Amino acid sequence: MSQQAGWYDDPENADNLRYWDGVQWTDHTSPKRKPGLDQAGQAAQQAWGAPPGQQPVQGGHDGAQHGYGQAHAQHGYGQQGGQEPTNPYAGGTQPPFQGQQWQPMPGGQQLQHLQAPTTPDGQPLAGWWRRVGARILDGILIAVVGGLVANQLVPGVWTDYLDWATGATDLSAQPPAQLLERLSSWSLVVGVVGLVYEVVLVKLLGGTLGKLALGLRVRLRDEPGLVGWGTSLLRGLVYQLSGIFTPVYFLNVLWPLWDEKNQALHDKVARTNVVRHR
């Protein structure tokens, strides 16, 4: 079950908080401590009569309300003749959670902190939707560029195919063997363009144009920086070959959804991870 939405320690910056929307980290951040927050806490302690040296209750808005209720009960506020102290945050924006946000566990067990998946050295892993979005952008680009190259190397193949398809009387008939061979050659050229595109850009830039556009990078799981030519080639080959068999391709694409390391099958073979660069 996914952790509930809320503010948590930013896995990218220890001085910030980042908002978890219940599925993945968002781009919304906030500093852990706001100017004047210490003074507000001291004023609250004085108003509530907290003993010197006692720390204010942590845990955000709910914790503030809990501490306020304890002081309220200790000093008899709310009884006849009592005067309720001023809430230093009344009428304004509540401060963000300070430090870590903790979620209660069933049966009063120790509270557990939510951690985003990272590489062993702490770099946050890319979410599944971002990876799919990057593949869609790359697919469009490869289809356009690869199609232009293939049309130069195998000219007129689609025109011949359309002529055959419109003139065929038997819907179950197969195209002539020569036409099938030309269609296969056209598809092979597009596949080679896609492989070269991925291998070269991952090696030189750390990611394809789609990944770069969405703030993603490809790296070795246990070592930051650009991958080598061999790793990039192996990763690209496994991905391209998975596309030959449709069930294997979809299994490869969906694998990061349940994999604890957020790796697709081609990542596992090449020992890589797709990470968030920004």
pLDDT in tens, 1-53: 457 888 888 888 888 888 887 778 888 888 876 555 555 555 545 544 545 54
Do 57 and 144 lie in one domain? The reply is no
Instruction: Could you list the beta-strand ranges (E) of 125-245.
Output: 216-220
Opening angle at CA 131, ends 126 and 132, nearest 5:
150
Structural domain of residue 139, as residue ranges? 128-276
Do 144 and 260 lie in one domain? The reply is yes
Q: What are the backbone dihedrals phi and psi of residue 129, each rounded to the nearest 5 degrees, phi first?
A: -65, -40
Do 141 and 269 lie in one domain? The reply is yes
Do 267 and 135 lie in one domain? The reply is yes
What pLDDT was estimated at residue 90? 41
Task: Give me the number of domains the chain comprises.
Answer: 2
Tens digit of each residue's pLDDT (9 = 90 or more) over 157-171 = 999 999 988 887 777
Do 43 and 105 lie in one domain? The reply is yes
Do 148 and 259 lie in one domain? The reply is yes
Do 102 and 141 lie in one domain? The reply is no
Q: Is residue 1 part of a domain?
A: no
Do 180 and 73 lie in one domain? The reply is no
Q: Is residue 260 part of a domain?
A: yes
What pLDDT was estimated at residue 273? 97
What pLDDT was estimated at residue 36? 55
Residues of the chain with pLDDT under 50: 1, 44, 47-48, 50, 53, 55-113
The number of beta carbons lying within 10 Å of the beta carbon of residue 25 is 18
What pLDDT was estimated at residue 65? 43
What pLDDT was estimated at residue 157? 93
Q: Are 75 and 49 in contact (CB under 8 A)?
A: yes
Q: Quote the CA–CA distance of 66 and 63 in Å, as a whole number.
A: 5
